[in-house]
Structure 1
Amino acid sequence: MSDIIQLLPDHVANQIAAGEVVQRPASVVKELLENAIDAKATIIKLLVKDAGKTLVQVIDNGSGMSVTDSRLSFERHATSKIRSAEDLFQLHTKGFRGEALASIAAIAHVELKT
């Protein structure tokens, strides 16, 4: 019998994950606003054009990220909130899976400034 199971290329897996995380522009807004809240932002500005199809931009005064963290944040399963499985029971923040930015970047043009 021939082998039929294969591993998906990363870009295909990221697009599939994007379909789970980013179902519509409102999903992008939700994920980005949760990131701003988790970064302890006290001022959050949301800009949306064409119902989010052309632009979704979040500007906040949160804690920001280092250069290394900003690069890693676009990798799948990259998160600052989980180090072990037990951490899943101690979460007090919004997003934690480390899928949002990777998923958004898989289907949209993304620019990050921090």
Structure 2
Amino acid sequence: MADIIRLLPDSVANQIAAGEVIQRPASVVKELMENSVDAGADNIVLIIKDSGKTLIQVIDNGSGMSETDARLSFERHATSKLSSASDLFAIRTKGFRGEALASIAAVSMVELRTRKAEADEGTLIIINGSKVETQEPCSCTPGSSFSVKNLFFNIPARRKFLKSDNTEMRHIVIEFQKIVLAHSEI
């Protein structure tokens, strides 16, 4: 009898894992805005097109990232919040698992522009379905700008599962309100 168990290709495993974190456009809004809060932003701009199906853009004035950190941030389990298991008992941030950006990148087309305040130039990274297409220096303001385009472009069944534009927008507004009401400094 032949063996039937096999390892999934990384691309398939990433899409499956992404489905646990990113279920709808509102999930992207939640994760990106929480990252902005964790980065110390006090100004966050949210731009939505077609209820998040075509575009979700979050622009902040947070701490921004170095070139190396920007690239590493899209790797699964890469985080700036933990360095050991004992850190789990003292978490004071929204995110810490290192799953959000990798999950978003697995199911969309992502453009990140980021710069630390002390840096002369920023970093532009373009990712399509977990594949880094571009990484190069760019001119940008301090902070980060994430543009998430064509959510679930590579998972038609998940895209078909999305509800009407009104329903998806309502979920986005709820996530947005939860974050801004909990953080009056924004």
TM-score scaled by length of structure 2: 0.60
1:8 partner amino acid: L
Tell me, in whole angstroms, the C-alpha distance in 2 between the residues paired with 1:105 and 1:86.
Answer: 29
**Alignment partner, residue 46 of structure 2:** 46
**Alignment partner, residue 5 of structure 2:** 5
Matches of residues 18-33 of structure 1 in structure 2 within 5 Å? 18-33=18-33
Greater percentage in helix: 1
Cα RMSD after superposing both structures: 0.9
Q: Aligned residues, how many?
A: 114
Please list the CA deviations of residues 12-39 of structure 1 after superposition, one character each: whole Å capped at 9, or x if unmatched.
Answer: 1110111000000000000000000000
User: Which structure's CA Rg is the greater one?
Assistant: 2
Matches of residues 77-88 of structure 1 in structure 2 within 5 Å? 77-88=77-88
Within the alignment, does 1:16 sit opposite 2:16 as a pair? yes
Shift of 1:9: 1.5
* Percent of aligned pairs with the same amino acid: 76
Shift of 1:6: 2.1
1:101 partner amino acid: L
Tell me, in whole angstroms, the C-alpha distance in 2 between the residues paired with 1:39 and 1:71.
Answer: 16
Residue 112 of structure 1 aligns to a residue in which SS?
strand
Greater percentage in strand: 2
TM-score scaled by length of structure 1: 0.96
1:43 partner amino acid: N
Residue 113 of structure 1 aligns to a residue in which SS?
strand
Please list the CA deviations of residues 62-112 of structure 1 after superposition, one character each: whole Å capped at 9, or x if unmatched.
Answer: 000000000000001100111111111110000111111111111100000
1:112 partner amino acid: L
